[in-house]
Amino acid sequence: MNLTGLGIGLLTLVVIGVGFLWVIKFEYYFGARPWKWILILGSIVSIASLFIESFWFSAIVGIIGGSIVWGATELTGQEERARRGLFPVHPKRREGTK
């Protein structure tokens, strides 16, 4: 019995769940303005996974990098969802500032 696929599937589920949370918190405190820098960071992490020899560690780093890239692209959508009232907006940020 090979549990590799199940392990990677569970890991992906956890990383995506944490990614969902960090996008909400990051947008709340910092807004969506630095999304391009986060996209670059996620790309670097994803590319770094190509140079890791350990299968498991490479998979973990690749999944985390992909989740960071996805989260960066979701920041602007999260900002819009907060603006529509689906999520709280940080009280010290003005409406319309990015």
pTM of the predicted structure, to 2 decimals = 0.85
Residue 95: band (very low, low, confident or very high) from pLDDT cuts 50, 70, 90: low
What residue ranges do the domains of the chain occupy?
Answer: 8-83
Q: What is the dihedral of CA 20, 30, 28, 44, to 10 degrees?
A: 0
Question: pLDDT class for 98, splitting at 50, 70, 90?
Answer: very low
SS3 letters for 28-74?
HHHCCCCHHHHHHHHHHHHHHHHHCCCHHHHHHHHHHHHHHHHHHHH
Residue 91 has a pLDDT of 83
- How far apart are alpha carbons 7 and 56 in whole angstroms? 10
